[in-house]
Amino acid sequence: MKKSMLLITGLLVTVAVLFVNAMESENDGLEVGDVATGFELPNVDGKMVSLDSYKDAKGFVVIFTCNTCPYAKLYEQRIIELDKKYSGKGFPVIAINPNDISKQPGDAMEKMKERSSAKGYTFPYLRDDEQNVARAYGATKTPHVYVLNKEGNKLRVEYIGAIDDSPSEEADVSKTYVEDAINALLDGKKPAVTSKRAIGCTIKWKDA
């Protein structure tokens, strides 16, 4: 009797620890090597976009970005170039704006529509109103990039972080982190650099 009680207590503790760990990893978001979850979010063209609908994609360049952050603006043209260069090769850009519009009205869907048409975005620009995707991915700032690689029906996170090493001047870029990661994946290799941090604007979270 005593033994079985001990066993049950032990099991309960194990379950509790697993549960807490699961919660922690959920809060921390995705890390390189993790399997990313898909999502479905509204696009600037009024339609819903889901990663599942990209049957021919080899992976994705998911970029949390926005209209209003000066760093995001500095990278805007480079994001367009990334999509032009890699969507045809199987790695389309999927841009997601997670900012709370009560704190940042300039990031409302209407403003996103204006920006994407004015700048000629070649990729979806989605609104994450509930901020669930940003939370699930563990995005903290704009711009914040996740390079995902398709493995069967799974999406493996292969790179997280900065687009390149020179936010200020595109001419001064010496390391193209995201391009290097995608090129490696296209060659069937793992990226040599899997994470590089950069300065960015804090995502404007909804008040809890």
Partner 1 sequence: MKAFFIAIILCIGLSSQAAAQDVKAIKLPELDKLISESSDELRIINFWASWCGPCIKEMPHFDKLHTENKAEVYFISLDFPRQLEKVAKLVAKKEIKAPTYLLDEKDADQYIQKIDNNWSGAIPATLFITPSGKRYFYESAFTEEELNATIEKLSTK
Enumerate binding residues for partner 1 (CB under 8 A). Answer: 70-71, 140-141, 144, 161-162, 165-168, 172, 196-203
Phi, psi of 2 (to 5 degrees): -60, -40
Residue 122 or 131 with smaller CB distance to partner 1: 131
99-108: list long-range contacts, CB under 8 Å, 24+ apart.
99/66, 99/68, 99/142, 99/203, 99/204, 100/131, 100/204, 100/205, 100/206, 101/129, 102/206, 103/204, 104/66, 104/68, 104/204, 106/67, 106/68, 107/66, 107/67, 107/68, 107/204
Q: Where are the alpha helices (DSSP H) in 29-151?
A: 70-86, 109-119, 132-137
Between 10 and 106, CB nearer to partner 1: 106
Closest CB 165 distance from partner 1, rounded Å: 7
E-assigned strand segments in 17-170: 35-36, 40-42, 48-50, 59-64, 93-97, 125-127, 141-142, 144-151, 154-161
Nearer to partner 1, 153 or 174 (CB): 174
Q: How far is the CB of 75 from partner 1 (least distance, A)?
A: 13
Report long-range pairs for 6-10 (Cβ below 8 Å, ≥24 apart): none
Nearer to partner 1, 73 or 190 (CB): 73
Tell the smallest beta-carbon distance from residue 72 to partner 1 (Å): 11
CB of 153 to partner 1, least distance (A): 29
Shortest separation between residue 80's beta carbon and partner 1, angstroms? 21
Q: CB of 158: closest distance to partner 1 in angstroms?
A: 17
